[in-house]
Amino acid sequence: MKFLIVGLGNIGADYEGTRHNAGFMVLDKLAAECGVNFSMDRYAYWAEAKCKGHLLELIKPTTYMNDSGKAVRYWLEQEKIPVERCLVVVDDLALEPGRLRMKKGGSAGGHNGLGNIEALLGTQAYPRLRFGIGSNFSKGRQIDYVLGKFTPQDLALVEPKLEIACEMIKSFACAGLEITMNTYNNK
């Protein structure tokens, strides 16, 4: 069985280590754990990993955050993967730094990457792994915050959770969405 695992973020050195690139950080960790490397392909950096007989098509869209749906739609169609086997790893302001939550679907909640995916897929019904980045910013400073780098204190909370996020992705592919949510969401 094949799954599409999408890490949202922005490409380029200016965005490395920023809160908005939490999805890229998780996929980089997963690729390293699986011993695979990303290569440039259409609309994304792509790698293929195996997990207990399942294929994980890993993509980090090169379309920038606000056009992430273009890459997701292309790879779902290219690999003939149904939307329910597409897991989007996304930064989330509503969760404290490092907090992880898997969901079946739902609204974009103001996240431009999720909003674009929803618009181009025509559905909100795709699983996502929300990676908390916190919301410690003053009014009107949200863009600066999400495009800013993690503080050392936040990084101390975030880095250990990258491995747990990888466990959740593998569980999603091997055990399913419901079991993964029940196992990890209340930790």
Which residues are identified as catalytic?
Answer: 20
Q: How far is CA 160 from CA 58, 144, 155, in A?
A: 21, 24, 9
Are 118 and 108 contacting, i.e. CB atoms less than 8 angstroms apart?
yes
Pick from 69, 73, 34: nearest CA to 55: 34
The beta-strand segments (E) located in the chain are 2-7, 39-41, 44-51, 54-61, 86-92, 100-103, 128-132
User: Taking a C-beta distance cutoff of 8 angstroms, is the pair 151, 187 a contact?
Assistant: no
Nearest in space to 130 (alpha carbons), one of 175, 164, 83, 155:
164
Q: Which residues, at least 6 apart from 55, have a Cβ–Cβ distance to it below 8 Å?
A: 1, 2, 3, 48, 49
